[in-house]
Amino acid sequence: MTTPEPSRPTIHIRSATPADATTVLGFIRDLAAFEREPDAVATTEVSLRADLSADDPPFSCLLASTEIDGESRDVGMALWFPTWSTWTGRTGIHLEDLWVAEDARGMGVARALMARLAQEVRDRGGERLEWAVLDWNQQAIDVYDHLGAHPQQEWIPYRLAGSALDDLAAG
């Protein structure tokens, strides 16, 4: 007796709406736990819903769902915002967070989200899709390498936050 092959999922990508705030927050919390910062999330459903409802939202979010044998569920997200390059004089996208549920990895969800973001860059007349990845997240690095992305080792990310940001703002 042979075991039937599992159905290959159909992947659907759509833009998140304010009604998706609970789902987006769940993915953000899952990502924070994966990145070893489970208590760092200050974002709330209320703030996400408000931001997604804004006339000029501060971010956009794509949601990925899989459909297997007629059953659909949300399995990932790509949260991003537009950028602009002084050197190229063109727009781009900064991918803030990419998350795929652990049990949906290897199905092509990350690739589908990244392909949709690349399409968004081109639809906007843009030149760049950029993001950062934790140096220990080899699984993600492997995915990005497979997509043809290249690390930008000559650039060092910096962040100003908390009291240092307050001190600088105060002059």
Distance (Å, rounded) from C-alpha 167 to C-alpha 139? 38
3 state DSSP class of 160: coil
Among 144, 151, 154, 169, the active-site one is: 144
Measured distance CA(95)–CA(91) in Å, rounded: 13
Buried b (16+ CB within 10 A) or exposed e, 132-165: ebeeeeeebeebbeeeeeeeeeeeeeeeeeeeee
Contact 109, 65 (CB under 8 A): no
> Which of 73, 83, 149, 60 minimizes the C-alpha distance to 111?
149
What are phi and psi for residue 61, nearest 5 degrees? -145, 130
Q: Measure the CA–CA gap between 146 and 112, rounded to whole angstroms.
A: 13
158 among known catalytic residues: no
Residue 97 CA: distances (Å) to CA of 29, 32, 81, 169 = 11, 10, 10, 27
Give the residue numbers annotated as catalytic, written as ranges.
144
